[in-house]
Amino acid sequence: MPLFSYRARDQRGILVTGHLEGLAAEPVRNLLSEQGLIPLSIRQVQTKKNWVPEFKFLKKVKPEEVVLMTRQFHTLFRAGMSMENLLGTLARQTKNKALNETLQRIQTDVSQGATLSKAFAKHPKIFNDLYINMLAAGEEAGILEEVLKNLSDLLEKEVEIKTGVKSATLYPKIVIGVLGIAITVMLIWVIPEFTKFYAHYKTALPLPTRMLTFASNVVRYYGWVLLLAGIVAWFGFRKYVSTPGGRLRYDRLRWKLPVFGDLSQKIANARFARILSSLYRSGLSITKGLSLVEPILDNELIAKDIRLIRSQIEKGQGIAESMKQTETFQPMLIEATAIGEKTGSLDDMLQGMAEHYETEIHHTIKNLTTLLEPILLVFIFGMVTFFVLAVFLPIWNLSGAVMH
């Protein structure tokens, strides 16, 4: 469909520019008028072949931007705006060019008769299956306002947890990165000078010095081999974890790691409870909700258990009873689910458990640096001690030989 650029003024006289898709200029003019805009100029954008490479990562939409857009969507919808005007306002408010263009395309589709969920479904790189299905459920049940509120809360919690984990692990990453650079510099430029100095003396070098000299020679003369081997190992690892069996073993290993393993389990249980609660509250069935939760959690271990639960429910078994046969769901979550089933308040119980786990997650994240500091200190102390012994032991030995 042809793309048109337009210049218009809103009811306050403010100049508005943008792009819209349409069959011709007149339908675009009518669409702008329906949005309460006064068209000034409309012209078709000539599409030419562009040999300049397009950097897709520059047009990426961040999760935070989707959260903000969804919050604004809920606020404007609650205010009673028509869907076409609402989408146009959202497009004008966003600063992200890719999201702006996407919202304009959604606006055009909706104005041409498409449902909201189908219009959003055309952009899966920005809006995932969870987003689309919750919109569809809200449209069908006539509770779109409530669904948008649940969806914005859910997305905000997802971003909050991910941001917290990244922030907490930033310090250890910086420390390990700086230490790695320092060790590399030592091996390539510093240790060879000491090796030349020790070569003048025909004495046997201590074991730490011989080990460090060997490592220095390997890095200096075979560094490219190490780099190539690292790249091959990385791609081999990625290939392995892309298989169901490999991903299952990798995810099971991650859950056994000290500190991070327990944190990963809590995050998975919290996300499962919150997402399923939001989907169930939005009117979706448990089996449909489970099928949507499975790929979103991005963990093959818990996905395997979700598939088991779904199959058991389809056979007539209860949710809590099915969860007891799994290895990933914690006992507290199972008991809460059982109470929710009996009392008919499954969504509230799941939401309560999600909030409980999120409180524990925030506490763990807050203390993550404190928990990792002893491990980092032991590692750094061990490396420094090894380097000091490797460099200065021969000097002490030579000093003793001279004194005798």
The tokens describing 17, both together, are 């520019």
Q: Which pLDDT belongs to residue 34? A: 77
The tokens describing 36, both together, are 């309460």
Q: Which pLDDT belongs to residue 118? A: 92
Q: Which pLDDT belongs to residue 126? A: 94
Torsion of CA 373, 376, 381, 387, to 10 degrees: -160
Q: What does the pLDDT average to over 73-85? A: 91
Q: What does the pLDDT average to over 328-343? A: 94
Each residue's pLDDT tens digit, 389-400? 998 888 887 766
Q: Which pLDDT belongs to residue 328? A: 92
Query: In this structure, which long-range contacts are made by residues 76-83, counting pairs with CB atoms below 8 Å and at least 24 apart in sequence?
Result: 77/144, 77/145, 77/148, 78/145, 83/110, 83/116
Q: Which pLDDT belongs to residue 14? A: 76
Residue 316 has pLDDT above 50, yes or no: yes
Q: Which pLDDT belongs to residue 339? A: 96
Each residue's pLDDT tens digit, 151-194? 999 999 999 988 988 888 888 889 899 999 999 999 999 999 88
Q: Which pLDDT belongs to residue 50? A: 46
- Give residues with Cβ within 8 angstroms of 179, minimum separation 6: 380, 383
Average pLDDT, the chain: 88
Q: Which pLDDT belongs to residue 52? A: 40
The tokens describing 231, both together, are 């790249």
Question: Quick check: 212 and 390 in contact, CB under 8 A?
Answer: yes
DSSP type of residue 62: P
Residue 275 has pLDDT above 60, yes or no: yes
Residue 57 has pLDDT above 60, yes or no: no
Residue 404 has pLDDT above 60, yes or no: no
**10-19, 84-93, 97-106, 124-133: range with lowest mean pLDDT:** 10-19
Q: Which pLDDT belongs to residue 296? A: 86
What kind and span of H or E run contains 17?
strand 15-21
Distances (CA, A) of 42 to 3, 17, 31, 126, 339: 10, 10, 12, 28, 60
- Give residues with Cβ within 8 angstroms of 211, minimum separation 6: 390
Residue 329 has pLDDT above 90, yes or no: yes
Q: Which pLDDT belongs to residue 375? A: 86
List, as one string, the DSSP characters of 209-236.
HHHHHHHHHHHHHHHHHHHHHHHHHHHH
Residue 51 has pLDDT above 70, yes or no: no
* pTM reported for the whole predicted model: 0.76
Q: Determine the straight-line distance between the first and last CA of the chain, rounded to whole angstroms.
A: 92
Q: Which amino acid is at 85?
A: N
Residue 265 has pLDDT above 90, yes or no: yes
Q: Which pLDDT belongs to residue 1? A: 62
Residue bearing tokens 């030592």: 186
Q: How confident is the model at residue 46 (pLDDT cuts 50, 70, 90)?
A: low
Report d(CA 312, CA 320) in Å as an integer.
10
